[in-house]
Amino acid sequence: MLIGPMRPVLQWLAPGGSRAPLSILIYHRVLPEPDPLLTGDPDAATFRWQMQLVARLFNVLPLSDAVRRLQDGTLPSRAACITFDDGYADNHEVALPILREQGLPATFFVATGFLDGGMMFNDRVLESIRRMPSGELDLEHIGLGMRSIDGLDERKALIKEVIQSVKYLERGEREEKVEQLTAQCPQALPDDLMMTTAQLKGLAAAGMEIGGHTHSHPILARLTDDQARAEIHQGKEALESILGQPVMMFAYPNGKPGSDYLPKHAAMVRECGFDAAVSTTWGVSTPHTDRYQLARFTPWDATPGRFGLRLARNLLKRHHPD
Q: Is residue 158 domain-resident?
A: yes
Same domain, 162 and 104: no
Strand partners, 257: 261
Question: Which residue range forms the structural domain that includes residue 129?
Answer: 121-183
Q: What is the pLDDT of residue 302?
A: 85
Identify which of 109, 1, 107 has the alpha carbon closest to the alpha carbon of residue 54.
1
Q: Is residue 76 domain-resident?
A: yes
Same domain, 152 and 112: no
- Residue 12: is its pLDDT beyond 90? no
153, 183, 213 - which closes a domain? 183
- Residue 1: is its pLDDT beyond 60? no
Same domain, 29 and 94: yes
Same domain, 113 and 37: yes
Q: What is the pLDDT of residue 320?
A: 73
Q: What is the mean pLDDT of the chain?
A: 94
Same domain, 282 and 212: yes
Same domain, 126 and 275: no
Contact (Cβ atoms closer than 8 angstroms) between residue 100 and residue 120: no
- Could you give the CA distance from residue 95 to residue 29 in angstroms, rounded to a whole number? 8
What's the one-letter identity of residue 40?
A: G
Q: What is the pLDDT of residue 142?
A: 85
Q: Is residue 188 domain-resident?
A: no
CA 160 to chain centre: 17
Three-state SS letters, the chain: CCHHHHHHHHHHHCCCHHHCCEEEEEECCCECCCCCCCCCCCEHHHHHHHHHHHHHHCEECCHHHHHHHHHHCCCCCCEEEEEEEECEHHHHHHHHHHHHHHCCCCEEEECHHHCCCCCCHHHHHHHHHHHCCCCEEEEHHHCCEEEECCCHHHHHHHHHHHHHHHCCCCHHHHHHHHHHHHHCCCCCCCCCCECCHHHHHHHHHCCCEEEECCCCCCCHHHCCHHHHHHHHHHHHHHHHHHHCCCCCEEECCCCCECCCECHHHHHHHHHCCCCEEECCCCCEECCCCCCCCECCECCCCCCHHHHHHHHHHHCCCEECCC
Same domain, 222 and 171: no
Q: Is residue 144 domain-resident?
A: yes
Same domain, 104 and 206: yes
Greater pLDDT, 31 or 319: 31
Same domain, 104 and 231: yes
Q: What is the pLDDT of residue 123?
A: 97
Q: Which residues, other chains included, contact 5 with Cβ-Cβ below 8 Å and sequence gap of 6+?
A: none
157, 183, 209 - which closes a domain? 183
Same domain, 218 and 277: yes
State how many domains the chain has.
2
Q: Is residue 303 domain-resident?
A: yes
**pLDDT range class, residue 198, cuts 50, 70, 90:** very high
Q: What is the pLDDT of residue 7?
A: 79
Residue 93 sits in a domain of what CATH number? 3.20.20.370
Same domain, 215 and 132: no
- Residue 85: is its pLDDT beyond 70? yes
Greater pLDDT, 171 or 34: 34
- Residue 177: is its pLDDT beyond 90? yes
- Residue 2: is its pLDDT beyond 70? no
Q: Is residue 154 domain-resident?
A: yes
How would you class 191 by CB atoms within 10 Å of its CB: exposed for 0-12, middle for 13-18, buried for 19 or more?
exposed
156, 183, 210 - which closes a domain? 183
- Residue 284: is its pLDDT beyond 90? yes
What percentage of the chain carries pLDDT values higher than 70? 98
Q: Is residue 131 domain-resident?
A: yes
Same domain, 149 and 172: yes
- Residue 4: is its pLDDT beyond 70? no
